[in-house]
């Protein structure tokens, strides 16, 4: 997953003609942090993914159900414990 996110960030940077330094400055981040993001080894937080999505105005990740069947959540009724 991390490599896919890194590739997506790199693609979006290239589309906009942003260097690592320009990108880091625009996000008020250190260039070394951007280098980590682009390495494919960084464990992204939801906050960082949200920041990047806002910056680019595009999704950074796509959530797919793949081969896992979707089953709506149905809460189970609460059962009182026996005394």
DSSP alpha helices (H): ranges in 1-83?
Answer: 2-15, 20-27, 31-39, 46-56
Whether the predicted pLDDT of 51 surpasses 60: yes
The mean of the pLDDT values for the chain is: 85
Query: Which secondary-structure segment (H or E) carries 36?
Result: helix 31-39
Residue at 76 is within a domain: no
pTM of the model: 0.71
Q: What is the CATH number of the domain that holds 8?
A: 1.10.260
Show the domain range for 13: 2-56
The tally of domains found in the chain comes to 1
Inter-helix orientation angle 31-39/20-27, to 10°: 110
pLDDT in tens, 14-29: 999 999 999 999 999 9
Beta carbons of 51 and 17 less than 8 angstroms apart: no
């Amino acid at each position: 997953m991390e490599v896919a996110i890194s590739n997506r960030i790199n693609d979006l940077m290239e589309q906009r003609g942003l260097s690592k330094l320009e990108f880091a400055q625009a996000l008020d981040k250190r260039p070394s942090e951007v280098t980590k993001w682009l390495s494919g080894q960084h464990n992204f937080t939801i906050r960082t993914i949200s920041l990047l999505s806002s910056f680019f105005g595009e999704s950074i990740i796509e959530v797919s159900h793949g081969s896992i069947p979707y089953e709506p959540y149905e809460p189970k009724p609460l059962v009182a414990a026996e005394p």
